[in-house]
Amino acid sequence: MNNIFSDTKEAFSLKSNFELTRAYFLFKIIGNSTVVKITTSITKFALKFNLPVSFLIKVTVFDHFCGGVSEEDCNPVINKLYKNNVHSVLDFSTEGFNSEHEFDECLKKKISIIEFIKNKEEIPFAVFKPTCLGSTELFIKKSLGEKFSENEELMWSRVINRFEKVCKKAYENNIKILIDAEEVDVQKAIDDLAILMMRKFNLANPIVFNTVQMYRKDRLQYLNELINNKSNDKVIFGLKLVRGAYMEKERQFANERGIESPICETKKDTDNNFDLGLDFVFNNLDRISFVCASHNENSVLKVMDVMKNKNINSNDIRIWFGQLYGMSDNISFNLAKRNYNVFKILPFGSVKNLMPYLIRRAEENTSVSGQTGRELQLIQNEKNRRLKLKA
């Protein structure tokens, strides 16, 4: 497809020849599922037994997809992005947290990140994964509407408290906060907490953003109920629209339980649902701020198209685009050049803690047909363009 996103000069303006070649080989490798499986197993084994592989991971896949090991470490990347009008969202890796102590530590970290980013116009959003603030089992039970024991009630009140503390901190510092969406099993409890927070903190401005996974068959109904619920009359909704990251897992769960899969049957259905989600937010833009969080060029083009048709300025504060660092630079940089609001999610943390994230990126680029091919083609085009310039 030839459109504004084919401009590879802009897309890779921050990448040196070395970084471009590294990206090329990375996407070549992760495009091969057998290689990904073998490399993943070897890496997990090596990290478990403290074999010295961290450096190798750091200078290859980590540096391509992550900002650094600490907030300060991310500064050069943040500044480089912002010079090109691309914002950053710092995402501290928090996977696999299980104890009350770890949930409290995670809360402290999230608060300290907001402290770090306050007054930094280059970082307008904070982000957190709900199950880093409470046990997954509790989220599941709550989502099912099962009765809590006395102790579970106590633990759940601590989860609400942690949600409230992090959202309040964001509110006090006028930082928008993204709540990630997770598996269907836990999502009902997350949705309920998110709207509880919006009712508190989204009365004057959209501060709290809940994520809506449009690969789910029931999300349009969710959106309609959200907006038609009288208790939400005063809320300015913050929504992040995504397709959804857990398709294979969800389908497997449904299969094992012998229930209908909650996920659209085909990619076309998901794409269609995503479009309907976009129509929904545009039809209710007087009450919604939203992020189109996608690497899909058609989805981004659709948003741009509707904005144009409705005479909405490219940098209208209600509309944001988001991509992951290390992916779809052609979308992010070309949008930013045209003054749209764009951010990159910039994961940071230790190599070990970020391994699940990196493995997901590798698997996603293997399983999502098209994405790796797209990245590789763009990188190849840019390499050719640079070679021609040299000749």
Ligand X SMILES: Cc1cc2nc3c(=O)[nH]c(=O)nc-3n(C[C@H](O)[C@H](O)[C@H](O)COP(=O)(O)OP(=O)(O)OC[C@H]3O[C@@H](n4cnc5c(N)ncnc54)[C@H](O)[C@@H]3O)c2cc1C
**Site residues, ligand X (CB under 6 A):** 180-181, 211, 213, 215, 242-247, 263-264, 266-267, 270, 293-296, 299, 322-324, 345, 368, 371
Nearest 5°: the CA angle 284, 164, 130 is 75
Among residues 293, 291, 331, 353, the alpha carbon closest in space to that of 66 is found at 353
Q: Quick count: other Cβ atoms within 10 Å of Cβ 25?
A: 11
Q: Which is nearer to ligand X, 11 or 54 (CB)?
A: 11
Q: Which is nearer to ligand X, 68 or 244 (CB)?
A: 244
In the complex, minimum distance from the CB of residue 256 to ligand X, in angstroms, rounded to a whole number: 18
In the complex, minimum distance from the CB of residue 131 to ligand X, in angstroms, rounded to a whole number: 12
In the complex, minimum distance from the CB of residue 121 to ligand X, in angstroms, rounded to a whole number: 19
Among residues 319, 367, 387, 385, the alpha carbon closest in space to that of 11 is found at 385
Q: Which is nearer to ligand X, 2 or 266 (CB)?
A: 266
Q: Which is nearer to ligand X, 28 or 267 (CB)?
A: 267
Q: Which pair of structure tokens corresponds to residue 304? A: 């741009």
Q: Which is nearer to ligand X, 159 or 293 (CB)?
A: 293
Query: Which residues have a Cβ under 8 Å from the Cβ of 111 and sit 6 or more positions away?
Result: 165, 166, 169
In the complex, minimum distance from the CB of residue 323 to ligand X, in angstroms, rounded to a whole number: 5
Q: Which is nearer to ligand X, 124 or 383 (CB)?
A: 124
In the complex, minimum distance from the CB of residue 345 to ligand X, in angstroms, rounded to a whole number: 5
Q: Which is nearer to ligand X, 12 or 246 (CB)?
A: 246
In the complex, minimum distance from the CB of residue 88 to ligand X, in angstroms, rounded to a whole number: 11
d(CA 107, CA 163) in angstroms, rounded, equals: 8
Query: What's the half-sphere exposure (Cβ side, CA atoms, 13 Å) at 120?
Result: 20
Nearest 5°: the CA angle 324, 329, 333 is 115
In the complex, minimum distance from the CB of residue 327 to ligand X, in angstroms, rounded to a whole number: 7
Query: Which residues have a Cβ under 8 Å from the Cβ of 341 and sit 6 or more positions away?
Result: 87, 315, 316, 317, 319, 320, 321
Q: Which is nearer to ligand X, 100 or 265 (CB)?
A: 265
In the complex, minimum distance from the CB of residue 122 to ligand X, in angstroms, rounded to a whole number: 16
